[in-house]
Amino acid sequence: MQVVSLTEARNNLKAVFDAVYQDHEDVIIHRKGKENVVIIPFDEYNAMKETQYLLGSENNRERLLRSLRHAREGKSSERKLVE
């Protein structure tokens, strides 16, 4: 993870975006006296939003966590997908 000042990010915006896109590296923009911001790859953002959606419902969250627990305990089975 890279940390740059707002001025440095502004002066090197293309390089910052290239680092995020090509290297899948998160970049923190440090803003003096204000909240920092993070630039992340778009696919990482989408994955975070999907996880947030899937875990947003308490029933769905409990079902997913129960499924994970069963898989870790060896209580899962494989099934063929029907096309």
Query: What is the number of domains present in the chain?
Result: 2
Length of the chain: 83
What pLDDT is recorded for position 9? Answer: 95
Question: Is 47 found in the same domain as 35?
Answer: no
Distance from C-alpha of 39 to C-alpha of 7, rounded to nearest angstrom: 15
Residue 27 within a domain: yes
Question: Is 16 found in the same domain as 28?
Answer: yes
Q: What is the pTM of this model?
A: 0.67
What are the tens digits of pLDDT across the range 48-61? Answer: 999 999 989 999 99
Residue 79 within a domain: no
Range of the domain at 26: 2-40
Residue 83 pLDDT > 80, yes or no? no
Please give the helix or strand (H or E) that residue 28 lies within, else none. Answer: strand 27-30
Question: Is 27 found in the same domain as 50?
Answer: no
